[in-house]
């Protein structure tokens, strides 16, 4: 599943509007209608009383579209605008005006006193829709919006976030001071990076993505650099049956460098998991003093001792590790290795020297602290699995 940053999503919107010719108000209509349909499907079939809290930007415009569709379906809806009406412009203003013209209930809130005065009627709603702040947010939430987010969370009602929970950085997942804790988030176009990593993930709830008519060709051209593997993409049955004349050597030889005193289990599990996932041959390299333990624990997996110091890899382990790489198909390093100098030496140098695909996991990633520039020097495809 492809993921986008705030900037990548902004550029996709821009190109869809300017190059393809789909007006922004159409994208907003598609977004709001899709969100309303998901709300109806999730909380219906009977009508529920809904409060939609809108900011003055496009996220608020999406909220007015959501409110309109729910109202048209017979749901009692009231919209709350946390800004003077005259400050709402562009596509958001178009949908605000439509909302008013169809007789939609609207309350403007200009200060914290008016916000807390509205608390009683909002508290009697069945669902609160958060359309305050969108994916472009970068600064800490303050003032009226901070109070509004705290109120939304305080009410303990089902919360639906439009595009992203207000207060979350859509690129980093960072909480910008305070953030809505949604039960359901309906995002538009593509999921955002900040929605699937912590702490943003904790605020998103159930995540749904709505197609708003951004052409797939534009997404392919943009080539987003982040993706999330979902369970369907990890189904090994999709690889098909293995040929009858194949053998263990057909399916590669993985070298796993893992373990230290107290963490032999990490090496054991990594080796067993590699076999279970389909590797033909697996060798687990561990600190020399721990090798007898792994010889007992592992049956199908081979072991190799590397020079150690007090139960952890020594700096002298690098030479043998490089020799062990010869003839291997892939390398995994990190489970339970600790962050001593020997382990750091192994990780940093193997990233540079390995010519086979490499996974750096667990303590292997911790060994990169202060030396991230080594990732630019990698000698082969590299995957980090924090």
CATH number of 353's domain:
3.40.1190.20
DSSP-assigned states of every residue in 7-44: HHHHHHHHHIIIII---HHHHHHHHHHHHHHHHHHHH-
Rounded to the nearest integer, the mean pLDDT of the chain is: 97
Per-residue pLDDT at 344? 98
- Examine residue 236 and state whether it is found in any structural domain, yes or no: no
- Same domain as 222, residue 89: yes
Average pLDDT over every residue of 78-84: 98
Do 187 and 272 lie in a common domain? no
Is pLDDT of 220 > 70? Answer: yes
240, part of any domain:
no
Instruction: Say if 238 falls within a structural domain.
Output: no
| Statement to judge: residues 252 and 226 lie in one domain | no
Give the tens place of pLDDT for each residue, 20-57. 999 999 999 999 999 999 999 999 988 999 999 999 99
Residues 25 and 234: their CA atoms lie apart, in Å, by 38
Q: Say whether both 291 and 198 belong to one domain.
A: no
- In a domain? residue 241: no
Domain span at residue 338 reads: 248-385
Let me know whether 275 and 211 are in one domain: no
- Under the banding of pLDDT at 50, 70 and 90, the label for residue 360 is very high
Same domain, 259 and 217: no
176 and 269 belong to one structural domain: no
Place of tokens 């017979």: 74
CA-based max dimension of the chain: 79
Q: Which of 230, 261, 289 is the last residue of a domain?
A: 230
Domain boundary among the residues 172, 201, 230 is at 230
For residue 240, name the pLDDT band (cuts at 50, 70, 90).
confident
Number of domains in the chain: 2
- Name the strands in the sheet holding 206-210, side by side, starting at the edge strand that comes first in the sequence: 105-108, 77-81, 50-54, 127-131, 159-162, 184-188, 206-210
Please give the pLDDT value at position 230: 79
Shared-domain flag, residues 173 and 221 = yes
> Between 24-43 and 58-72, two packed helices, what is the crossing angle to 10 degrees?
50
In a domain, 196, yes or no: yes
Residues 252 and 207 in one domain: no
What CA–CA distance (Å, rounded) separates 62 from 180?
Answer: 17
Q: What does the block give as tokens for 18? A: 């300017």
* CATH number for the domain that contains residue 151: 3.40.50.10260
Question: What are 249's two structure tokens?
Answer: 């050597």
318-338 residue pLDDT tens: 999 999 999 999 999 999 999
Model pLDDT, residue 137: 98
Note whether residue 237 is domain-resident: no
Q: Based on the domain organization, do 7 and 36 belong to the same domain?
A: yes
Q: Do 75 and 112 share a domain, yes or no?
A: yes
Please check whether residues 88 and 219 belong to one and the same domain. yes
- 76 Cβ contact partners less than 8 Å away, ≥ 6 residues apart: 47, 49, 50
pLDDT band at residue 386 under the 50/70/90 scheme: confident
Region 270-290: mean pLDDT is 97
**Residue 243: is its pLDDT beyond 70?**
yes
Indicate the pTM of the whole model.
0.84
The confidence band for 238, taking pLDDT boundaries of 50, 70 and 90, is: low
Boundary-marking domain end, from 200, 230, 260:
230
The pLDDT value recorded for residue 236 is 66
Instruction: Name the residue among 283, 278, 184, 293 with its Cα closest to residue 237.
Output: 278
């Amino acid at each position: 599943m492809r993921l986008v940053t705030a900037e990548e999503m902004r550029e996709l919107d821009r190109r869809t509007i300017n190059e393809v010719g789909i007006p922004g108000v159409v994208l907003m209509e598609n977004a709001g209608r899709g969100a309303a349909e998901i709300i109806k499907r999730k909380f219906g079939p009977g009508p529920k009383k809904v409060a939609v809290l809108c900011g003055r930007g496009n996220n608020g415009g999406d909220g007015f579209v959501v409110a309109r569709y729910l109202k048209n379906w017979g749901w009692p809806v009231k919209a709350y605008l946390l800004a003077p009406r005259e400050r709402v412009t562009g596509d958001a203003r178009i949908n605000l005006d439509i909302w008013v013209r169809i007789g939609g209930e609207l309350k403007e809130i200009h200060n914290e006193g008016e916000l807390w005065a509205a608390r009683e009627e909002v508290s009697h709603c069945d669902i609160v829709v958060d359309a305050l702040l969108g994916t472009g947010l970068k600064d800490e939430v303050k003032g009226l919006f901070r109070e509004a987010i705290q109120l939304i969370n305080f009410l303990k009602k089902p919360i639906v976030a439009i595009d992203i929970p207000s207060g979350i950085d859509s690129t980093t997942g960072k909480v910008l001071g305070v953030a809505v804790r949604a039960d359901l988030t309906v995002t538009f176009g593509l999921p955002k990076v900040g929605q699937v990593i912590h702490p943003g993930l904790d605020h998103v709830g159930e995540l749904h993505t709505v197609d708003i008519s951004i052409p797939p060709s534009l997404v392919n051209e943009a080539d987003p650099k982040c993706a999330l593997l979902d369970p369907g993409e990890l189904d090994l049955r999709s690889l098909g049956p293995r040929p009858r004349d194949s053998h263990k050597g057909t399916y590669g030889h993985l070298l796993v460098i893992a373990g230290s005193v107290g963490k032999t289990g990490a090496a054991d599990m990594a080796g067993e998991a590699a076999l279970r996932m389909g590797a033909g041959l697996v060798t687990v390299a561990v600190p020399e003093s721990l090798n007898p333990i792994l010889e007992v624990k592992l049956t199908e997996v081979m072991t190799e001792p590397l020079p150690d110091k007090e139960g952890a890899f020594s700096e002298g382990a690098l030479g043998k590790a490089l020799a062990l790489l010869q003839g291997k198909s892939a390398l995994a390093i990190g489970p339970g290795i600790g962050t001593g100098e020997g382990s750091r030496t192994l990780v940093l140098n193997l990233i540079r020297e390995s010519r086979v695909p490499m996974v750096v996991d667990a303590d292997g990633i911790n060994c990169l602290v202060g030396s991230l520039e080594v990732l630019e020097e990698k000698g082969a495809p590299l995957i980090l699995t924090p």
